[in-house]
Amino acid sequence: MSSKQNQWIVGINAVASAVEHDADNVREVLVEAGAKNPRLASIEEEARRRGIDVRRVTQQALDGVAGGLRHQGAVARYAAAKTHDEDDLAGLIEAAEGRALLLVLDGVQDPHNLGACLRSAAAAGVTAVVIPKDKAVQVNATVRKTSAGAADSIAVVRVTNLSRTLRELQKLGVWIYGLAGDAGASLYGIDLRGNVALVLGGEGEGLRRLTREHCDQLVALPMPGAAEAGVESLNVSVAAGVCLFEAVRQRL
């Protein structure tokens, strides 16, 4: 598990998900006093049922804690983001019984992008999302809110050395595809039905050189309108969604 510093989770979906999926790490829930939203009442009821302290506070108090994020009348103090260590990967892959689907993010910096990637990953039923511990955004309050609760429901694995992790995945029988705009092969011509890891780069430079070298194959997303529109690449969270749901389509 990751370090245990406190952080705040902000927004109705994120708080409800944390209470439901990871109550042990929720230290207290703050809800807006006098608010009429029935979802706030259900969050309060569920939190109390699970033995979590609930406080009714003013909107101003919530504004202060939320730090500019839209809280919708609910925030929660959380012990730590529920992340996994690289030692957990082998067990997660084994449990997937030959159908592991991993999303590997090489240096995503924007918390909104990471949150959106986690949301797509949860919807696609991924086995795990792998992120580096350094030079990349971690699962923070903004990520949790953007992910609409997905950060609590899927395994986020933080690794020290991404290249080494890719080598370990290969030893575990995972085929690794890196997304690169200059690749000759199209994603749509690839078999994504077995143990597969899809590797996407960060917002600026894309895949780093060492990461590219540890992929079994580089593939591209066909973008027939890109040149005319002057679009060099897709946003990383959009690309992640496209790739993951192509894998889902093949596996149905």
The 10s digit of each residue's pLDDT in 2-23 is 334 567 889 999 899 889 887 8
* Whether residue 148 sits in one domain with residue 34: no
The verdict on 122 and 146 lying in the same domain is yes
Burial of 161 (0-12, 13-18, 19+ CB in 10 A): middle
In a domain, 1, yes or no: no
Q: Which of 45, 78, 111 is the last residue of a domain?
A: 78
Q: Report whether 234 belongs to an annotated binding site.
A: yes
Total number of domains constituting the chain: 2
% of the chain residues with pLDDT over 70: 94
- pLDDT tens figures, 26-52: 889 999 999 889 999 999 999 999 999
pLDDT of residue 135: 87
| Domain assignment present for 91 | yes
Q: Produce one character per residue of 65-101: b if its CB has 16 or more CB atoms within 10 Å, e if not.
A: bbeebebbbbbbbbbebbbbebeebeebbeebeeebb
How far is the C-alpha of 12 from the C-alpha of 199, rounded, in Å? 31
- pLDDT level of residue 82 (50, 70, 90 thresholds): low
Q: State the average pLDDT for the chain.
A: 90
Q: Which of 78, 97, 131 is the last residue of a domain?
A: 78
Specify whether 191 is located in the same domain as 237. Answer: yes
Average pLDDT over residues 63-91: 85
Q: Encode pLDDT of 124-150 as tens digits.
A: 999 999 999 988 888 877 787 788 778
**236 within a domain of the structure (yes/no):** yes
Contact partners, residue 6, CB within 8 Å, separation at least 6:
27, 77, 78, 79
| 166 marked as binding residue | no
C-beta separation of 48 from 54 below 8 A: yes
Is 241 annotated in some ligand binding site?
A: no
Query: What DSSP element (H or E) covers 48?
Result: helix 38-49
Residues 242, 183 share a domain? yes
pLDDT at 143: 85
105: pLDDT confidence band, cut at 50, 70 and 90? very high
Mean pLDDT value of segment 237-241: 95
Do 194 and 97 reside in the same domain of the chain?
A: yes
State whether 63 and 172 are in the same domain: no
Boundaries of domain holding 33: 7-78
pLDDT in tens, 184-207: 999 999 999 999 999 999 887 789
For residues 146 and 197, state if they share a domain: yes
